Structure 1
Amino acid sequence: MIEFINVEKTYNNDVKALQNINLKIDQGEFVGVIGLSGAGKSTLLRCINRMHDITHGRLLVNDVEVASLRGKEVRRFRRNVGMIFQSFNLVTRTTVLKNVLVSFVPELPLWRKIIGVFSKEDKIKALEALDKVGILDKAYVRVDQLSGGQQQRVALARAIAQDPSIMLADEPIASLDPVTSKQVMNDFKRINKDFNMSIILNIHHVEVALEYADRIIGIRAGQVVYDGPATDVTQGILDDIYGNKEAEVQEERRDYV
């Protein structure tokens, strides 16, 4: 479970990215976080895995007080929280398998980190993760020979290989075409259902969020203005979340369809 209790996040330039956030996200939920660029969506996700520190309140993940973690505790904690980025963060000049094996590096003894030796068990886990996202046949292909959608699946497999209970995704389909976006979103949905993994996506495409997420969290100017079932989202709720930018949202929805 993830619980935000009166959480605030203020950056060094005095910009208040999050204000009075109170949320509970149970294990196995599929949550879409929507809102304008700069509303605080990415900050919300990055506080969960301690990429950003909160400045007020409490943030609990599986009963762990995230702000209290130090040093190795943070690294161990992040093993349970997978993270997918818009830019994929892959090493493109090496193979798909080696990119997935990177997920095991933090746990390796120093000598194995230096020479890059992975155990048979690690390799099996990596191959199983690739199989789960449907690209096992690409294991020994260089990443720079893959399409954007395939690269995003490599990033997803790398996160799955950690065996996390929570998966965070920051604009995972922003650079993908509509057909490929649906394939990647289908992967997220299947993983959510098959492994009871909590999926929390910061997503720019409203139509995709409403189609795939069970729960929508709408953020405006750092505050939660909607939190409820995707099926209950109305045009009025979208107006509250996006304000006078709703025309752009409607155009975006037409593009996706």
Structure 2
Amino acid sequence: MIEFMNVEKTYSNGTTALRNINLKIGQGEFVAVIGLSGAGKSTLIRCINRMHEITGGTLIVDDVDVAKLKGGQIRRFRRRIGMIFQSFNLVTRTTVINNVLVSFVPELPLWRKWTGLFTKEQRIKALEALDKVGILVKAFVRVDQLSGGQQQRVALARTLAQSPDIILADEPIASLDPVTSRVVMDDFKNINKAMNISVIMNIHHVDMALEYADRIIGIRKGEVVFDGETSKVTPEILDHIYGGKWAEERASLQESVAEQLPAGGSSLYV
């Protein structure tokens, strides 16, 4: 489904973000990309939907050479790939269902875009997507009245409404507390298994990656230094991925989780 062949990414300022990336990701896989901040994790997943242009090698998604797409081809290609951000990217002053319906705007005729009128089928599909992430009861509530976890689930429903083959998630639980993070990760896992949608997730919380993903890709300084089944990840491998700094990274994660827990709480997450 997705194949990186000697992919390189160098920014205009001369910074090399990716070096010699060779990966194959099959349909229906749940892949977590881990590594230190600045290692190239976000760049890797954003190349898949061409939010970032590669500067070397070849990137193939379902037999499509991504770098060769132009204009409308890029827009149509991106319809098949859902993108979830840490910041949710929702319009907070309108309702939940209106935020999900936004996913249909690119395919509307011009007169519907002007009037904001969606078809009955589109509204039903939006409601079905909200039901899949367990937030249907909030369909007509304003987004700014929801918790952070609920807002992330709205963002996930908006992505599901476009019927993607792939979901890319860029630190989707970074701003959520541990309990809410688990709820959102459950949604990702259920969707991955029930709908056979590939999930490629850049995630800082290694514990969650090991619990939910089937496969771990470790990135260090723009290079893949580990690629294998989650069950094969050891403390030694984590130390290799994190350049000998896994102990410090783990301590930082523990401190971050502890700060988000209520007084007297405990965490099972790190």
**Range of TM-score over shorter length:** over 0.9
1:55 aligns with 2:37: no
| Equivalent position of 1:42 in the other structure | 42
Contact 1:82 1:159 in 2 (8 A): yes
Secondary structure in structure 1 of the residue aligned to 2:60: strand
| Equivalent position of 1:17 in the other structure | 17
Aligned residues: 257
| Equivalent position of 2:129 in the other structure | 129
Deviation at 1:242, TM superposition (A): 0.6
Q: Which whole-Å CA distance do the structure 2 matches of 1:168 and 1:92 have between them? A: 22
String of CA shifts for 1:198-225, please: whole Å, max 9, x gaps: 0000000010000000000000000000
Normalised TM-score (structure 2):
0.94
- Could you tell me the percent identity over the aligned residues? 74
Q: Which whole-Å CA distance do the structure 2 matches of 1:248 and 1:184 have between them? A: 26
| Equivalent position of 1:242 in the other structure | 242
Deviation at 1:25, TM superposition (A): 0.1
Q: Which whole-Å CA distance do the structure 1 matches of 2:154 and 2:13 have between them? A: 36
Q: Which whole-Å CA distance do the structure 2 matches of 1:246 and 1:219 have between them? A: 13
Q: Which whole-Å CA distance do the structure 2 matches of 1:221 and 1:43 have between them? A: 12
Q: Which whole-Å CA distance do the structure 2 matches of 1:82 and 1:96 have between them? A: 18
Secondary structure in structure 1 of the residue aligned to 2:164: coil
Q: Which whole-Å CA distance do the structure 2 matches of 1:39 and 1:253 have between them? A: 17
Secondary structure in structure 1 of the residue aligned to 2:140: coil
| Equivalent position of 1:30 in the other structure | 30
1:68 aligns with 2:68: yes
Deviation at 1:252, TM superposition (A): 4.7
| Equivalent position of 2:118 in the other structure | 118
1:146 aligns with 2:146: yes
| Equivalent position of 2:180 in the other structure | 180
| Equivalent position of 2:261 in the other structure | none
Secondary structure in structure 1 of the residue aligned to 2:54: coil
Q: Which whole-Å CA distance do the structure 1 matches of 2:176 and 2:114 have between them? A: 35
Deviation at 1:244, TM superposition (A): 3.5
**Which amino acid in 2 is paired with 1:175?**
S
Secondary structure in structure 1 of the residue aligned to 2:209: helix
| Equivalent position of 1:108 in the other structure | 108
| Equivalent position of 1:205 in the other structure | 205
Q: Which whole-Å CA distance do the structure 2 matches of 1:243 and 1:64 have between them? A: 35
Q: Which whole-Å CA distance do the structure 2 matches of 1:115 and 1:52 have between them? A: 33
| Equivalent position of 2:224 in the other structure | 224
> Structure 1 stretches of 5 or more lacking a match?
none
String of CA shifts for 1:182-238, please: whole Å, max 9, x gaps: 000000000000000100000000100000000000000000000000110011111
Q: Which whole-Å CA distance do the structure 2 matches of 1:250 and 1:15 have between them? A: 27
**Which amino acid in 2 is paired with 1:242?**
Y
Contact 1:205 1:252 in 2 (8 A): no
String of CA shifts for 1:149-188, please: whole Å, max 9, x gaps: 0000000000000000100000000000000000000000
Q: Which whole-Å CA distance do the structure 1 matches of 2:225 and 2:67 have between them? A: 25
Q: Which whole-Å CA distance do the structure 2 matches of 1:248 and 1:83 have between them? A: 30
| Equivalent position of 2:260 in the other structure | none
Q: Which whole-Å CA distance do the structure 1 matches of 2:73 and 2:229 have between them? A: 34
Deviation at 1:138, TM superposition (A): 0.3
Normalised TM-score (structure 1):
0.98
Q: Which whole-Å CA distance do the structure 2 matches of 1:79 and 1:143 have between them? A: 24
Secondary structure in structure 1 of the residue aligned to 2:130: helix
Deviation at 1:110, TM superposition (A): 1.4
Deviation at 1:250, TM superposition (A): 2.0
Cα RMSD of the aligned pairs, angstroms, is: 0.9
> Structure 2 stretches of 5 or more lacking a match?
258-268
| Equivalent position of 2:263 in the other structure | none
**Which amino acid in 2 is paired with 1:162?**
Q
Q: Which whole-Å CA distance do the structure 2 matches of 1:253 and 1:11 have between them? A: 29
Secondary structure in structure 2 of the residue aligned to 1:76: helix
Q: Which whole-Å CA distance do the structure 2 matches of 1:166 and 1:34 have between them? A: 19
Q: Which whole-Å CA distance do the structure 2 matches of 1:251 and 1:161 have between them? A: 39
